[in-house]
């Protein structure tokens, strides 16, 4: 990756920590990000155009992880893992400071081998449930997941929504019947009000991606974007915490 990308990503990781992020999701650029909407697809494309590779992401993480207390979860599709070799990939990201892994294109039935290897490597494998996941399958996914369960709030790809679907409250209730592991809600959370709402419904965490990328895109200069994203992240954290205290 070019120095510009390196410095920007490292700056973001430090800023997220300073803004109160408990967990930081770090994405690996990929040419076919099928779970992502247009905003994050654009970010993938720009990173790849600047020559960013998996090793660059690992190097950035290794540089920043000793300076932060936030857990870093790597978000990557399966092809880059397979191309590097599963054991090598896991050893490399663990050494760099990763605590967890999200692989959105790997269904539950195909995670068994990877789960064994992530456990051996000391990496928590986070699994996803969706609005179309039957409750019995939610239970199986929750049992297999490490760390926390990632609840996708809406069908479709990542992106900003004007409101969180009301059914998320019911989905959280179904998950609570199946597991006592923490549940974080993602896909469509774009601001403090939505974070406050899902926290009121019982979510343990909120995951924000597209709104952060869009905020960066809207800034005139990269350093302005880092500052604006920091403000957004802090406001989301504050809203979620306030709702939990009130509850």
DSSP 51: T
pLDDT tens for 51-85 read 999 999 999 999 999 999 999 999 999 999 999 99
DSSP for residue 162: S
Predicted confidence (pLDDT) at residue 161 exceeds the cutoff of 80: no
User: Per the confidence metrics, is the pTM higher than 0.85?
Assistant: yes
Tell me how far apart the terminal alpha carbons of the chain are, to the nearest angstrom. 45
Residue 36 is among the residues annotated as catalytic for this protein: yes
Distances (CA, A) of 231 to 86, 98, 169: 37, 25, 27
Per residue in 131-152, pLDDT (tens digit) is 999 999 999 999 999 989 999 9
pLDDT of 164 above 70: no
For residue 109, indicate whether it is catalytic.
no
**pLDDT > 60? residue 158:** no
Does the pLDDT value for residue 211 go beyond 70?
yes
* Predicted confidence (pLDDT) at residue 1 exceeds the cutoff of 80: no
Q: With contact defined as beta carbons under 8 Å apart, do 195 and 239 qualify?
A: yes
Q: What is the pLDDT of residues 169-183, one digit of tens each?
A: 999 999 999 999 999
Mean pLDDT of 192-217: 91
**Number of residues that this document lists for the chain:** 247
pLDDT, residue 159, reads 43
Q: Which of 32, 36, 59, 231 is catalytic?
A: 36
Mean pLDDT score across all residues of the chain = 90
Q: Residues 22, 25, 177, 223: which is the catalytic one? A: 25
- CA pair distance 171, 223, nearest whole angstrom: 38
Confidence tier at 157 by pLDDT (50, 70, 90) = very low
């Amino acid at each position: 990756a070019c120095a510009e990308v390196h410095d920007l990503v490292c700056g973001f990781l430090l800023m997220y920590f300073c803004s109160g992020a408990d967990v930081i999701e770090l994405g690996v650029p990929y040419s076919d990000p099928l779970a992502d909407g247009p905003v994050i697809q654009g970010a993938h494309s720009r990173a790849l155009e600047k020559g960013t590779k998996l090793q660059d992401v690992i190097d950035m993480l290794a540089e920043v992880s000793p300076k932060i207390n936030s857990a870093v979860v790597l978000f990557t599709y399966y092809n880059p893992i397979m191309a590097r070799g599963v054991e090598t990939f896991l050893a490399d990201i663990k050494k760099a400071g990763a605590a967890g892994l999200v692989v959105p294109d790997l269904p539950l039935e195909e995670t068994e081998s990877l789960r064994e290897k992530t456990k051996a490597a000391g990496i928590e494998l986070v699994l996803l449930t969706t609005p179309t996941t039957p409750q019995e399958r939610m239970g199986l996914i929750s049992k297999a997941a490490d760390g926390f369960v990632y609840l996708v709030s809406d069908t479709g790809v990542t992106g900003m929504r004007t409101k969180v679907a009301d059914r998320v409250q019911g989905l959280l209730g179904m998950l609570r019947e199946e597991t006592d592991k923490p549940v974080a809600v993602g896909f469509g959370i774009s601001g403090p009000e939505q974070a406050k709402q899902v926290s009121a419904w019982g979510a343990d965490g909120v995951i924000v991606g597209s709104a952060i990328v869009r905020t960066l895109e809207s800034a005139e200069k990269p350093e302005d974007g880092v500052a604006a994203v920091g403000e957004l992240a802090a406001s989301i954290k504050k809203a979620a915490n306030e709702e939990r205290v009130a509850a």
